[in-house]
Structure 1
Amino acid sequence: MGFRFPGIVNAKANPKRSLPSSEATVVPKGHFAVYVGEVEKKRFVVPISFLKHPSFQNLLSQAEEEYGFNHPLGALIIPCSEEAFVHLTCCLQRS
Structure 2
Amino acid sequence: MAIKQILRRSFSSERRSNSVDVPKGHCAVYVGENENKQRFVIPLSYLNDPLFQDLLKQAEEEFGFYHPMGGLTIPCSKDLFTDLTSRLSRI
TM-score, normalising length from structure 2? 0.76
Partner of residue 24, structure 2: 29
Gap runs ≥5 in structure 1: 1-20
Cα-Cα RMSD: 1.1
Partner SS for 1:27: coil
Among 75, 80, 84, the alignment partner of 1:84 is: 80
Q: Number of matched residues? A: 73
Structure with bigger RCO (C-alpha 8 Å, 6+ apart) = 2
Q: CA deviation at 1:29?
A: 0.5
Residue matched to 1:11: none
**Partner in structure 2 of residue 38 of structure 1:** 33
What's the TM-score, normalizing by structure 1?
A: 0.73
Question: What is the one-letter code of the residue matched to 1:65?
Answer: E
Residues 5-48 of structure 1: CA deviation (Å, up to 9, x unaligned): xxxxxxxxxxxxxxxx6xx3110000000000112101000000
Give 1:91 shift: 0.6
CA deviation digits over 1:32-85, x for unaligned, max 9?
000001121010000001011000000000000000001112211000000100
**Unpaired segments of 5 or more residues in structure 2?**
1-16
Segments ≥4 residues shifted beyond 3 Å: none
Greater Rg by CA: 1
